[in-house]
Amino acid sequence: RIKLKHGSHREGKRTDSVMQKWRGNGLGQFIHWGLYAIPGGEWNGKQYNGAAEWIRSWNGIPKSAYDSLIYKFNPINFNADEWASIAKNMGAKYVTITTKHHDGFCLWPSKYTSYTVANSPWKKDIMKPLVDAYDKAGLDVILYFSIMDWNHPGWRYDIKTKADSIAFEGFKKFTRNQLIELLTMYPKAKGLWFDGTWDKSWVKQAKFADELEAEMRKLRPGLIIGSRFRADEYGKRHFDSNNVLMGDYEQGWERKLPNSIADVHGNDWDCVMTIPENQWGYNKAWKGHIKSSNELIEMTAKAVSLGGNFVLNFGPKGDGSIRDEEKKLASEIGDWMKVNSEAIYNCEYSGLEKQDWGYFTKKREKDKVYLIIFNTPVSGAYRVKLPAKTAIAKSYLLTNPNMDLRVEEVHSNEYFIYAKPTTEAKPFVIVLDTKKKENNGGNNYEKAK
Ligand SMILES: Cc1ccc([C@@H]2N[C@@H](C)[C@@H](O)[C@H]2O)cc1
């Protein structure tokens, strides 16, 4: 172990109730909204083929033209309650909302820059109605904040000269002021989701960032901050130089999922995911592979089966409305969650060996295991291997708890559960009530002949 002053200050999962609640959320909504939603990936009839929220970085749009989009921000169809109800009906338990993306435009009336909603035709604060609407709908709010800020004159990608260093000191103060401002103006926020922290200029600020994280945690006890915020004094990010997770959960799973429990190193984590291949902000072109609700439900199940949360991104249009394709997916996911969310909420990694038919989840602090079935074997038999001391007390479809399913013990601690797949091509859930095995090792079920 090497001595670190600015490495991780905590090992293992947080056990406090705020983190327990976060851990049990299972499904969240991400919102990417800002000036980039106005061009929507297109400028002067030309398509930007990168991610729409990065259009400012494209040489197809003059930077000054992009920056002047502030004078076009007037989302007449913005309805915070509608966004919150879409998320609630999808079955999301929390939302992560961009307060400021890389372009530096602030969705709140920050005192520390003029590049905010206050100086747009809209004039009003966007964050307050959003935080209040999601809170009223019963969803926790996490604030996304990009450290990298293309609008601030003090931003630098690296610090090479004395002038860079002086400019960046001003930028650091500005950043600290904005973060304290956000936590003060929106005290209901449960956490911060940091982005834009990969450049050398910020990676070199181990001491400053460590002290800033401490200041934020002191101001907001219980605040949830992920592994992406700060690097240690050797520039190590996400995991410090002793390979200990930075922050409260791992934020490395962007548009990808871990494949096995070994990939998550016993940490909390979230996976943030786009519906198209790689568009976070609104893009007029709804092209390439658009994930179906079945795919997104499977990603949610996989994430929860490996002890993480799945956070699905929505990119509202420049006028503040949410596109129909996203609303349709949210309601399809919600239809499934209305029936099956018992296998998602407050569930965790089961410790059981993955089987081909789908994913196991386990209810926290309960002897209840869920089989979320995506691939029905032609045999109609679902294989389950249990630890030696665990027996099956009861097995049934989540949608029909009064009808016991046939269970056959094919070897010791290995069973086939027989169930007819549901008629429509949608995943379904088998529940196992487990119990400790009596010492005679007897099961209630027939032994293999
Ligand atoms: C290379 C790269 C940088 C930043 C991103 C940002 N992180 C996502 C959560 C979005 O905000 C995207 O713009 C994505 C890829």
Does the beta carbon of 254 lie inside 6 Å of ligand 1?
yes
Residue nearest to ligand 1 atom 10, measured at CA: 280
Ligand 1 atom with the smallest distance to the CA of 196 is 4
Q: Over 70: is that where the pLDDT of 448 sits?
A: no
pLDDT at 401 over 70: yes
Both structure tokens of 307: 């002890």
pLDDT exceeds 80 at position 442: no
pLDDT 10s digits, 338-372: 999 999 999 999 999 999 999 999 999 999 999 99
User: Which atom of ligand 1 is least distant from the CA of 272?
Assistant: 9
Q: Average of pLDDT values for 208-218?
A: 98
Q: Are strands 428-436 and 368-373 parallel, antiparallel or unpaired?
A: antiparallel
Q: Kindly give the number of the ligand 1 atom that is closest to the alpha carbon of 53.
A: 13
| Whether residue 272 has its Cβ less than 6 Å from ligand 1 | yes
Which residue is associated with the tokens 């109730």? 17
Q: What is the mean pLDDT of residues 130-154?
A: 98
Per-residue model confidence as pLDDT tens digits over 408-438: 999 999 999 999 877 778 899 999 999 998 7
Write down the pLDDT at residue 440: 57
Query: How high does pLDDT run on average in the chain?
Result: 96
| pLDDT for the residue numbered 449 | 43
Q: What is the mean pLDDT of residues 107-118?
A: 99
Of 284, 225, 218, 213, nearest to 249 by C-alpha is 225
The Å distance, Cα 398 to ligand 1 centre, comes to 38
Per the structure block, which two tokens stand in for 316?
């509202």
pLDDT at residue 441 above 70? Answer: no
Residue 312, ligand 1, Cβ within 6 A: no
| Across 153-162, average pLDDT | 98
Cα-to-centroid distance, 83 and ligand 1 (Å): 22
Residue 445 — very low, low, confident or very high, per pLDDT cuts 50/70/90? low
pTM (predicted TM-score): 0.97
Which ligand 1 atom is the nearest neighbour of the CA of 54? 13
CA 214 to ligand 1 centroid distance, Å: 25
Integer distance in angstroms from the first to the last C-alpha of the chain?
A: 55
Q: How far is CA 435 from CA 65, 190, 389, 391, 444, in A?
A: 65, 36, 8, 5, 11
Establish whether residue 125 lines the binding site of ligand 1, counting it when its CB lies within 6 angstroms of any ligand atom.
no
Alpha-carbon gap, residue 312 to 25, rounded angstroms: 13
pLDDT computed for residue 420 by the predictor: 86
Q: State the average pLDDT over residues 6-27.
A: 98
Nearest CA residue ID for atom 13, ligand 1: 53
- Distance CA(120)–CA(114), nearest Å, equals 10
Long-range Cβ contacts of 410-415 (<8 Å, 24+ apart): 410/448, 411/448, 412/388, 412/441, 413/385, 413/386, 413/387, 413/388, 414/383, 414/384, 414/385, 414/386, 415/383, 415/384, 415/385, 415/386, 415/445
Does the predicted interface ipTM exceed a cut of 0.95? yes
The answer to whether residue 148 scores a pLDDT higher than 90 is yes
Mean pLDDT on 382-407:
96
pLDDT value at position 437?
87
**Closest residue (by CA) to atom 4 of ligand 1?**
196
Give the ligand 1 atom nearest the CA of 32: 11
- Taking alpha carbons only, the member of 333, 345, 360, 365 closest to residue 21 is 345
Between strands 414-418 and 406-411, the pairing is: antiparallel
Atom 2 of ligand 1, nearest CA residue: 196
Provide φ and ψ at 219, rounded to 5°. -70, -35
| Predicted pLDDT at 45 | 95
- Res 40 pLDDT > 70: yes
Q: What pLDDT sits at residue 424? A: 77
Res 214: pLDDT: 98
